Amino acid sequence: MNNLQDGLSELDKRIVVALQPNGRASWRTIAEKVGSSTATVTRRGQQLLTDGVVKVAVVPALAAGGAYSAFWARINCVPGESMAVAEKLAASPDVRFCAVVAGEYDIVAEIILRGNASTYPKLLQHLQSLPGVRRWRSDYTLHVYKVSFDWGRQLFGEEPTTGHLSSAFDEPEECSPQHLDDVDRQIVASLQADGREAFQRIADNLGLNESSVRRRYDRLRSNGCLDVLTLVQSAALGMGAETLVQITVVPSHLEAVAAKLSAFPFVRYLALMLDTNSLLCELIMPNGRDLHGFLTGPLSHMEGVNGWSASMELVFLKRGFIETPWWRVQVQSRPLLTAG
């Protein structure tokens, strides 16, 4: 795998950004978007996938597994143990996101609990007992306002065009476990391992015809049962400030502040947390100077914002239930700071 800290060529960056809205887009479609030949884009795109710079995966939407609750955990570790704890957390099927961070905490993780929140203590006891965990704080996710799938478009002065924007009164997702049968789940499992796997190859492996696999995939997508993830290390695109910010807001201004924050293209994720009337916001920005400008400029002047605390993401091991293919090389190539 290439050292991602060396960055990518301009064409490589454009290919990655073009893949973000739909990682299954054809190389011909990507070539048209980036203004290059299909042969060149196919060669460069496949190399990016082979090198682990980009990972495409198709995963079931959360609603496809039935009722769920989401929690964010902030974890302090015994000094020197943060990476070992993070690796164990990332291996848990209940952890959707996991990152080693710098700041008040050592690790931030999102945990998805099936069923209602009353069963969380049992899972919590298991995860909290991992060797190296010193302190654990959990917060419940009340509502997700935004998930951006193409934040990279900001590199070229383009506004993101995809993602999920919602109000607090949206109807639930259409998808439910009844939308998937055993064959659907086998198709999804194949695409979770390789999001760009050809329908024909999946059909051959499952003893189906290609058109049947394609129809099933299209149906699941139209029902909101699938998410197509294009994972890329932000530093490879020249984005050096990937930050989780918890923003405390006057309760009567929560909706207004959330709407303003959602409009920024560098806001990848935004959710309302139960504790301390706060918004959890993930920012992906070019550098610390831009981060400073946002925190001391637009955010600090936003009516209703009382303050914030932040953690810089040093290594993210898992997103959307998918382990990133580069984190081990990243850890080996440079020392990590710990708050322990």
268-294 pLDDT tens trace: 999 999 988 899 999 999 899 999 999
Q: How does pLDDT run across 154-169, given as a tens digit for each residue?
A: 878 776 555 554 433 3
The domain limits of the chain are 4-55, 181-224
- The model's pTM is 0.87
Q: Percent of the chain scored above 70 by pLDDT?
A: 90
pLDDT at 76: 97
Domain 4-55 fold is Arc Repressor Mutant, subunit A (1.10.10)
Domain 181-224 fold is Arc Repressor Mutant, subunit A (1.10.10)
- Decide whether 4-55 matches 181-224 in CATH topology: yes
CA 95, 99, 104, 106 dihedral sign is positive
